[in-house]
């Protein structure tokens, strides 16, 4: 997304688009108008997250410490 390659890749996908990773932005516009799902993280404790990132800890550690929480956003898909 940062280097603008997601648009070219998304245009090649037939069907729903799925983007997953701890830093995936959980906003529908990330799918560029496609339907699909975004799997990322929500910060539960901002102060702790900032301290841990400053110390070099990664997403796995922040998830284990419950500073991050896994989250999924469905865009244009039937949720049932």
Number of domains in the chain: 1
Residue 54 lies in a domain: yes
More confident residue, 22 or 48: 48
64, 52 contact by CB (below 8 A): no
Does a structural domain hold residue 80? no
Q: Does 1 map to a domain?
A: no
% the chain with pLDDT above 90: 55
More confident residue, 46 or 77: 46
Q: Say if 34 falls within a structural domain.
A: yes
Give the pairing of strands 36-43 and 17-20: parallel
**Residue 61 pLDDT more than 80?**
yes
In this prediction, residue 1 has a pLDDT band, given cuts at 50, 70 and 90, of low
**Residue ranges making up the domain that contains 60:** 6-75
């Amino acid at each position: 997304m940062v280097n603008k390659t997601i648009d070219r890749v998304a245009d090649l996908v037939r069907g729903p688009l799925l983007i997953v990773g701890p830093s995936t932005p959980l906003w529908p516009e990330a799918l560029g108008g496609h339907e699909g799902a975004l799997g990322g993280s929500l910060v539960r404790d901002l102060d702790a997250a900032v301290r841990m990132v400053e110390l070099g800890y990664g997403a796995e550690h922040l998830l284990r410490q419950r500073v991050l929480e896994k989250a999924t956003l469905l865009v244009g898909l039937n949720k049932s």
